[in-house]
Amino acid sequence: MILKGNQRGSGQQLATQLLNADNNQRVEILELRGSVAQDLHGAFEEWSACAMATQCLKYLYSLSINPDPRQGGLTRAQYFDLIERAEKELGLSGQPHAVVLHVHNDGREHYHVVWSRIDIDNPKAVHIAHDRLKLRKVAQEFARDHGLTLPSGMRKHGV
């Protein structure tokens, strides 16, 4: 399982990319939290507007979750467990987010999660330091708890 995340701006470009059906047999928005809009472009535009007060340019945190298909994939409940763990570890609990499912033409599926980094109660961006280490820790703990094997570069002490 690979967790890959980054801070970014350009919400409209990201929304278009996430909704692109060219490489995917199916694209589905599974959850949209913290926006009036019920579509990705509208939600990301709202989150961009909130960022304007903070002058934060990279107001989104984008995470892709790619399980190893040789291990049978993950259930929807497992994906959401993993998302909740990542959200907590990154300090994004309660932040607006979108969850998008991609199913490729070969049947392989993966999820994308995009959070707004802007804390609207204290108009500033949520600081995310050492996110790669945090995501690695989440992947290791999740793999241990669900009996999965990680790629050799992500293993720690036999996980």
pTM of the model: 0.92
CATH of the domain at 64: 3.30.930.30
Long-range CB pairs of 33-41 (<8 Å, 24+ gap) are: 33/96, 33/97, 33/98, 34/95, 34/96, 34/97, 34/116, 35/96, 40/15, 40/98, 40/100, 41/12, 41/15, 41/16
Answer whether residue 155 is part of any domain.
no
Answer whether residue 79 is part of any domain.
yes
Answer whether residue 138 is part of any domain.
yes
Answer whether residue 153 is part of any domain.
no
Answer whether residue 157 is part of any domain.
no
Q: For each successive 10 residues of the chain (159 residues), what is the average pLDDT? A: 94 95 87 96 96 94 92 91 98 97 89 96 93 95 92 63
Count the domains in the chain.
1
Domain hosting 41: range is 2-148
Answer whether residue 156 is part of any domain.
no
Q: How would you classify residue 146: left for phi > 0, otherwise alpha for psi between -120 and 50, otherwise beta? A: alpha
First to last CA, the chain: 12
| pLDDT score, position 155 | 66
Contacts of 134 (CB under 8 A, 6+ apart): 86, 89, 90
